[in-house]
A and B are shown apart, each in its own frame.
Chain A
Amino acid sequence: MDRPDLGALFLHFLVLSFLAIGGAPTVLPDIHRYVVEVHHWMTSTQFAELYALAQVAPGPNAMFVTLIGWQVAGWAGAAATTLPLLVPASTLTLLVGHLYARHPNAALGRTVRRGLTPITIGLMLASGWILMRAVNHDWRGFLLTLLTVVLVLRTPWNPLWLLAAGALAGMVGLV
């Protein structure tokens, strides 16, 4: 395990900020690569646990980056991951929001969106893939994942109930 270099952490997340089209799940694979595979600040399982915790907490899913930073280096680490990931993106949003109010149908904007959407979706699939390999060790885990996908797509149930059901299944030893 390396000693955390907060400056490098900050810069890495700053670069990711501009790639996070579609939100934090898009950059999850790269965060995983950086904190687990390159620097060994946590195990793949710990990473997945922090992600699951952030899913249960209120607010945007992106808060898992706060938790990752906090795990790496406490409050300073939380700031070093959260601020660079969110501030530049929000600033860009302000500028674009301003322009959008004037030119809502610019052809360039539509083309860029159409081009990037499939990449965004592919990257989110990669996030799911990496997390799945970190957490599912036998068929019961895979079954629970599959069941969740089906229930989310076929029912209007609040996902929080599914997470609660998963926790319960874990406590009674089903998973």
Chain B
Amino acid sequence: MAARRQRRRHRESKNHEASRVTQAHVSAFALFLTFSRITLSSFGGVPFWARRVLVERQRWLTEQEFVDLLALGQLLPGPNVLNLTVMVGYRFAGWAGAAAAVAGFLGWPCLVVIAMGVLHQRYGALPLVQQALTGMLPVAVGLLFATVVKMATVLPREWRPWLFGMLAFVGVGVLRWPLLAVVGALAPFAIAAAWRGKD
């Protein structure tokens, strides 16, 4: 099963190479505009909108390419959708493309979020605003838990990965130890376990 998936991935990655040759050049400005559009429409979750624009509307990526890039973005540090943005920008227009895509993707949300911060500082103490925030907070927390549940479905049915997950949770969440110490202590063992259990 795993071998078949691997073969398939290999074949598809060859298709990537083939399609890359025929790929039209996309200008840095077009990347800026497209990623501005993605980010400004992405209320409640970027991947949904990124897929819709990049795969369905612009057809810059195939479905499989999109999934591969998002998975790779998940593995690397930083927000997976930002990593996707960097890789798509770089792929179509080099360094300038990556910079333009990131500027479009992060620039607007930065401004919006700070504007909201200003409003919050000015009107946050009003009772009605306070009540609305009080109602939104448990929902925001629920969204985070739901994401955790969705992500946990990819874990294999073995005890080791779950143990490492629980140790990370207890160390950082309950005991409040510094992240660097907890991850530094757990990561080598977790990777070693994954290495030994890979067959």
Interface residues of A (CB under 8 A from B): 15-25, 27, 29-30, 33, 37, 48-64, 66-67, 70-71, 75, 78, 82, 85-86, 88-90, 92-94, 96-98, 100-101, 104-105, 107, 109-132, 135-136, 141-142, 144-149, 152-153, 158-160, 162-163, 165-171, 173-175
A-B contact count (CB 8 A): 351
Interchain CB contact under 8 A, A163 and B116: no
Q: Is B26 positioned at the interface, with any CB of A under 8 Å from its CB?
A: no
Residue of A nearest to B160 (CB): A118
Q: In the complex, what distance in Å separates the CA atom of A20 from the CA atom of B134?
A: 28
Question: When the two chains form their complex, are residues B72 and A96 in contact, meaning their CB atoms are under 8 A apart?
Answer: yes
Is A29 a contact partner of B172 (Cβ separation < 8 A)?
Answer: yes
Given contacts A53-B117, A58-B40, contact A124 B45 (CB under 8 A): no
Question: Known: A115-B190, A115-B195. Contact between A60 and B79, CB under 8 A?
Answer: yes
Q: How far is the CA of A145 from the CA of B143 in the complex (A)?
A: 8
Residues of A within 8 A of B110 (CB): 63, 66, 78, 82
Query: Contact: A59 with B190, CB < 8 Å?
Result: no
Name 10 A/B residue pairs within 8 A (Cβ), A-sorted.
Answer: A20-B78, A21-B77, A58-B39, A59-B39, A59-B105, A63-B110, A67-B114, A115-B195, A124-B151, A125-B169
In the bound complex, residues from chain A placing their C-beta under 8 Å from that of B73 are: 93
For the complex formed, measure the closest distance between the CB of A175 and the CB atoms of chain B, giving whole angstroms.
5
Q: A52-B137, A61-B79, A162-B139 are in contact. List 17 more A-B contacts (CB 8 A).
A: A50-B117, A59-B108, A62-B82, A67-B114, A86-B79, A104-B10, A112-B194, A115-B192, A122-B167, A122-B168, A125-B148, A131-B137, A131-B144, A132-B141, A136-B138, A141-B138, A175-B134
